[in-house]
Amino acid sequence: MSNLETSIATTGHEAPATKGGSVAGYIDDRLASSNFTKRLLDKVFPDHWSFMLGEIALYSFIILLLSGTYLTLWFNPSMTEVIYNGSYTPLKGIKMSEAYSSTLHISFDVRGGLLMRQIHHWAALFFVAAVSVHLLRVFFTGAFRKPREINWVIGTLLLVLAILEGFAGYSLPDDLLSGTGLRIAEGIVQAIPLLGTYVAMFLFGGEFPGTDFIPRLYSIHILLIPGILLGLVTVHLIMVFYQKHTQFPGPGRTESNVVGFRLFPIYMAKAGGFFFVVFGITTLIAALVTINPVWLYGPYTPSQVTAGSQPDWYIGWLDGAVRLTPNWETNILGHTISWNLLIPALVIPGIMFTALGLYPWIEAWATGDKREHHLLDRPRNVPTRTGLGVMSLVFYMILVISGGNDIIAVAFNLSINQITWTLRILLFVLPPLSFVLTKRACLGLQRRDNDKLLHGYETGQILRLPSGEFLEIHEPITDAEKAVILAKQDFAPLALESGEDANGVRNPKAAKSAARARLSAWFYSDTIPVPTDEELQHAAEHAAHELHEAQAQAKQIEGSSH
Amino acid sequence: MNELEHHSGDPYGAKDGKDLVSGITVFPMEEHVMRRADIDPKAATRAERQVATMFTLAILSVFAFVVSYVKIPNTKMIDVPILGAANANHVAIGLFFGLAILLIGVGAIHWAKKLMPDVEVIQERHALTSNDTEREAVASSFQRGKAESGFAERKLIRRTLLGAMALFPIPLIVMLRDLGPMPGTRLRETIWDKGIHLVTDVTYNKIKASDIPIGGLVNAVPENLLKIEEEDGNLNERGKASIILVRMDPAEIVSQQGEAWDYQGILAFSKICTHVGCPISLYQQRTHHLLCPCHQSTFDLSNSGNVVFGPAARRMPQLAITVDSEGYLIAQSGFKEPIGPSFWERG
C-alpha cells in the first residue's frame, strides 16, 4: 500500500476496528449520522402487550404491500368481456370480465397465486381490525392527550383510508358479491342531493356498471390510497418516535422518563421477530382457511344476486346502518331527498369520524387540561371518557350486528322484521345504558383501589377472637401496586366565569363559560379523590396496629391452650 | 418554559418522591429478578439450542417449500381435517412458507426473552417545547420574511396572487369532465317498449303465458337485450331492464299500478330494488312478498308492489304486459316510472 492511499483512507478518523464500524464510518462520512444513530440504537421503548396492536397494523400493512405487488403481476383490471377457458371447470365457457377471469387464473393456474390472494385478503381484514383495536387502546388509556393530538388525527385518517382501501380491493375481482357491493355504493352516491347523478355518471363513466370503473378503482387501490397511507404511516411513526412512547404507570415510571428496553438489540429482535410472527400466522391462516372464494359467486351481472350477501367485516356497520334506517324520503319541488341513504351512509359516518378526530380537543376543552401527558390513564380512572368509549363501541357493535340481521334471522329462525325493529330500539337504548353502567363500574373499581390502598388486600386468613369475633387479616399491597393506583390524578371541574365583573359590567364570555363549566362538571361528576398522604399514613398505622393486636390475641390463645 | 427540566440526583426525574410534572408519588423500580439463563449456563445453552433449532427448521421449511412447489401438481386435491377439500399444492407451499417465516419470528423473540438482557432501562424524556428565546427567534424570523416580501403592504400583489391561486385548480377539475356523460334522462329510461317480447334470463326463450303456473316466478329480460349488450359492450341496460314475472290467482290481486297491466294474473315487476339497486330475488308465494337480500326491503306484489317493510321508500315499478297473437308475453309499453334507486332529479 502506498503512502498516498493510506493517508486518504484514514483522513480525519482512525481506521475503525470492526466491520460494522467501517460501514457506520462510511455512512457517517457522508451524512454525519453518528449522533442520530446512537440515539436510535439506545432508544428506550416501554413494554406492554397492548403496544403491539399498532405493530400488528403496521406489519399487516407491509404484508399487504408485498402480497399486493405480487398480485398485480397477474391481475388484469379490465371489464372487457371474455369467455373463460381456465382450469376451473364449473365456469368454463362462461362470459365474464377480464378482471374476474384473471382472478380465477391467479386462484387456479398460478402456483402460490391463491396463497397470495388469501394472504392479501386476510392481511386486509387483520389490518383494519388491528387499526381499530389500536385506536381503542389509545382512546381508553388517554394516549391521545397533549402532545399527541396530531397523531390521533392522523390515526383517524388512517382508519378511514384503511376502510376505503379495503372496500376498493374487495371490489376489484368483479365477482357477483363485490359487484353487488359496488351497486350499493353507486346507489348511495346517486342519493347525494344536487350532485348525486353527476358524481355517479362521472365515477362509472356513465351508467352502472359500465366498463370504466374497475380500471379506475385499480389505480386508486394500488397507487393513490396506498401512497397516502404510506405517507401517513411514516409521519405517524416518526411522531411516535420523536415524542417517545407513552407508558403505563408503575414503579419508577414518571411523566418525565421512559422505562423499558433499548431498541438495539431487544426491540430489534422482539419487534422484528414479531413482524415475522404476524406474517407467518397470516400465511398459515391463508394456507388453511379459505377467504373470499370468488369462484363460487360467479361473474358479476346486475340481474343476479346471492342471498345472504355480506360485505367484509369493516363495512358491516355501514351496511347495518343502511338496513336499520326507516324508509324516509322527501319530495319537494320535483326533487328527491333520500334520507334513508343520506342518514346512514353519509350523516352518521360523518358525525362518527368527525367526533372521533376532534375528541382530544373536545375532552381538553371540557377538562381545561393543558399539560403534557406521557403516563397513560387506567380506563377506570377517567370514568366519563371510558363510558363514552364503551357507549360508542356498543353503538358500533349494534350496527355491525344489524349488518347481519338476515343471517341472524336464518340461523335462529326469527322474523327479520322483528329483529330489525329490536335492533332499531336497541341502537338508542343500549348505548346510554352502557355509558351509565361503565361509569358505575369504573367508580366501583376506583373505590376498590382506594380500599386496597387504605386497608390492604384480604389475605383470606380468618381469625376467631376469644370474644367470638371473626377477623380477616389484611396485608398491605406491594409498592408496585401502590405505584399503579396512586398514579391517578385528582381533577376539579372548571370554575364558572362570573356573569358580571367587579364593576357590574356584563361579561360577554360568560355564556360560553357557563356551557364549558357545565360540560366540565359533567365530565368530572362523581369523582372519587385519591387518598392523601396523611390518610395513607394513618391507614398504615391503623393496619399495623390492628395486625399487632390480632397477633397478640393469637399468641394469647396459643398460650392458653397449652 | 420547560416542564421537564430535571433536578439532577433523582433517577426518576422526581423530587421528594413526587413526580415533578404530575405530582404523583414515585416508587422505586422493582428489583430485577434473574432468569434461569442468567444464572445457570446450562439453561443458557439450552435456550441457545432452542433458538438455533427454530432457525434450522425455518431453513428446512424453505427447502420443503421448494420441493412442494415443484413436485405437487397444482390440480391435486386433498382433504384437510375440519377444513375440507383443498388444493394440495396450495396447502403445502402455504404451510412451509408460513412455517419458514413464523419460525424466524418465534426464534428471534425467544432469543430476546431468554438470552438478551431483561433489565429495564430508564431514559429521560426531552422537552417537546422549545424555550422562549427559540420561539421568539422563530417569530422574529417570520416577521423579517413577511416585511421583506412586502406581502402585507403590497395589497395589489397580495390580492391578485390570492385570486390566481384560488382559480388555478379550476382547470384540474374541469378536465375531469370527460370522466363520464351528463346524466340526461338515462336513469329514467329502459329499453322496454311496446310489443317487445319478454324472454327468460340466461336462456333467452320467449315465454308463453300458459307455461307459467300459479305461484311461479320467472326472471326475464327484453328480447333485444342481447343484441344491445353486444353493441354497447356493457351490462348497463341489463341493470335497468331486468324484470321478474310472477303469476297469482287474479282474485288475490288487490291492486295494480295500472288497469289491466297483468295478463291473466301474470304480473311483471322491475327486478331492481328501489332502495340501492340490488336485483331482488326472494319471493314468497303465499304472501306475494318480494324481499331484497341486500337490505331486506319488502314489497307486496299483489298490492301494486308497495313497500311493506325495510328501508326502500318507493314501490317496485310494474311493467304492463299482454300477449301477442301466438300467446307469447310482450310489453304493453315501457316502464311508466323510473326503475331502481332514487336520485335527486327523480322527483
pLDDT in tens, B181-234: 999 999 999 999 999 999 998 899 999 999 999 999 999 999 999 999 999 999
Helix, strand, coil % in chain B, rounded to nearest 5: 35, 20, 45
Left, alpha or beta for A526 (phi > 0: left; psi -120 to 50: alpha)?
Answer: left
My answer on whether B197 and B329 are in the same domain is yes
Enumerate the H helices of chain B as residue ranges.
36-39, 41-71, 88-114, 132-149, 155-167, 169-174, 225-232, 238-241
Residue B182 pLDDT: 95
Q: Report the relative pairing of strands B289-291 and B298-300 from DSSP bridges.
A: antiparallel
My answer on whether B212 and B105 are in the same domain is no
Distance of CA A140 to the CA centre of its chain: 10
Alpha-carbon torsion (A106, A110, A111, A116), positive or negative: negative
Mutate to test the interface with A, among B275, B280, B283, B297 (most CBs of A within 10 A): B275
My answer on whether B95 and B226 are in the same domain is no
Cβ distance of A284 and B99 shorter than 8 Å: yes
My answer on whether B205 and B315 are in the same domain is yes
Residue whose C-alpha is closest to residue B298's, from A396, A409, A413, A330: A409
The H or E element spanning position B243 is strand B243-247
Q: What angle do CA A465, A467, A471 make, to 5 degrees?
A: 35
Q: Cβ(B252)–Cβ(B268) under 8 Å?
A: no
Cβ distance of A483 and B27 shorter than 8 Å: yes
Residues of B in contact with A212 (CB under 8 A): 179-180
For chain A, say whether B115 makes contact (Cβ under 8 Å).
no
Domain assignment of residue B105, yes or no = yes
My answer on whether B103 and B223 are in the same domain is no
d(CA B107, CA A277) in angstroms, rounded, equals 10
d(CA B291, CA B282) in angstroms, rounded, equals 5
Query: For residue B95, what is its C-alpha cell?
Result: 404451510
Q: Cβ(A199)–Cβ(A189) under 8 Å?
A: yes
My answer on whether B69 and B194 are in the same domain is no
Q: Cβ(B229)–Cβ(A301) under 8 Å?
A: no
d(CA A180, CA B281) in angstroms, rounded, equals 13
Residue of chain B nearest A326, judged by CA positions: B311
Residues of B in contact with A308 (CB under 8 A): 293
My answer on whether B195 and B316 are in the same domain is yes
Closest-CA distance, B334 to chain A, in angstroms, reads 18
Query: For residue A120, what is its C-alpha cell?
Result: 392479501
* B114, B137, B155 - which closes a domain: B114
Residues of B in contact with A262 (CB under 8 A): 121
Compare CB distances from A287 to B98, B116, B297 and report the shortest one's residue: B98
pLDDT in tens, B115-154: 999 999 999 998 889 999 999 999 999 999 999 999 989 9
| DSSP for residue B252 | G
Domain assignment of residue B207, yes or no = yes
Q: Cβ(B201)–Cβ(B220) under 8 Å?
A: yes
My answer on whether B219 and B336 are in the same domain is yes
The H or E element spanning position A282 is helix A268-288
* B114, B147, B163 - which closes a domain: B114
My answer on whether B212 and B79 are in the same domain is no
d(CA B31, CA B113) in angstroms, rounded, equals 18
User: Domains in chain A and their CATH numbers?
Assistant: 3-41 (no CATH), 43-77+86-304+315-377 (1.20.810.10), 442-561 (no CATH)
Q: Cβ(A122)–Cβ(A286) under 8 Å?
A: yes
Compare CB distances from A114 to B87, B99, B117 and report the shortest one's residue: B87
Mean pLDDT to the nearest integer, B85-103: 96
Number of domains in chain B: 2
Cβ distance of B347 and A194 shorter than 8 Å: no
Compare CB distances from A302 to B3, B109, B239 and report the shortest one's residue: B239
My answer on whether B85 and B203 are in the same domain is no
Domain assignment of residue B168, yes or no = no
* B56, B82, B114 - which closes a domain: B114
Domain assignment of residue B335, yes or no = yes
Q: Cβ neighbours of residue A92 under 8 Å, at least 6 residues apart?
A: A84, A85, A86
Q: What angle do CA A179, A185, A186 make, to 5 degrees?
A: 90
CA diameter of chain B: 105
Q: Counting runs of H as helices and runs of E as strands, what totals does chain B give? A: 8, 16
In DSSP notation, A376-408 reads PPPGGGSHHHHHHHHHHHHHHHHHHHHTTHHHH
Each residue's pLDDT, cut to its tens digit, for chain A (562 residues) gives 445 554 444 455 666 667 777 888 899 999 999 999 999 999 999 999 999 999 999 999 999 999 999 999 999 999 999 999 999 999 999 999 999 999 999 999 999 999 999 999 999 999 999 999 999 999 999 999 999 999 999 999 999 999 999 999 999 999 999 999 999 999 999 999 999 999 999 999 999 999 999 999 999 999 999 999 999 999 999 999 999 999 999 999 999 999 999 999 999 999 999 999 999 999 999 999 999 999 999 999 999 987 777 899 999 999 999 999 999 999 998 899 999 999 999 999 999 999 999 999 999 999 988 899 999 999 999 999 999 999 999 999 999 999 999 999 999 999 999 999 999 999 999 999 999 999 999 999 999 999 999 988 888 888 887 788 888 888 889 999 999 999 988 777 887 776 666 677 777 777 788 888 889 889 988 888 888 888 888 888 887 787 787 777 777 766 665 5
My answer on whether B342 and B195 are in the same domain is yes
Q: Cβ(A220)–Cβ(A227) under 8 Å?
A: no
d(CA B13, CA B21) in angstroms, rounded, equals 9
Residue whose C-alpha is closest to residue A212's, from A226, A224, A202: A202
Q: Cβ(A94)–Cβ(B76) under 8 Å?
A: no
d(CA B55, CA A276) in angstroms, rounded, equals 12
Residues of the domain holding B241: 188-346
- Which CATH number fits the domain that encloses residue B250? 2.102.10.10
My answer on whether B44 and B193 are in the same domain is no
Query: For residue A59, what is its C-alpha cell?
Result: 406489519
Helix H, strand E, coil C: the string for A338-351 is CHHHHHHHHHHHHH
Residues of A in contact with B307 (CB under 8 A): 327
Domain assignment of residue B81, yes or no = yes
Cβ distance of B28 and A479 shorter than 8 Å: yes
Residues of A in contact with B113 (CB under 8 A): 270
Cβ distance of A257 and B118 shorter than 8 Å: no
Cβ distance of A322 and B104 shorter than 8 Å: no
Around Cβ A87, how many Cβ atoms within 10 Å? 12
Domain assignment of residue B74, yes or no = yes
Cβ distance of A184 and B19 shorter than 8 Å: no
Enumerate the H helices of A294-347 as residue ranges.
294-297, 316-324, 339-342
Size of interface A-B (CB pairs under 8 A): 373
Residue of chain A nearest B307, judged by CA positions: A327
Q: Cβ(A104)–Cβ(A89) under 8 Å?
A: no
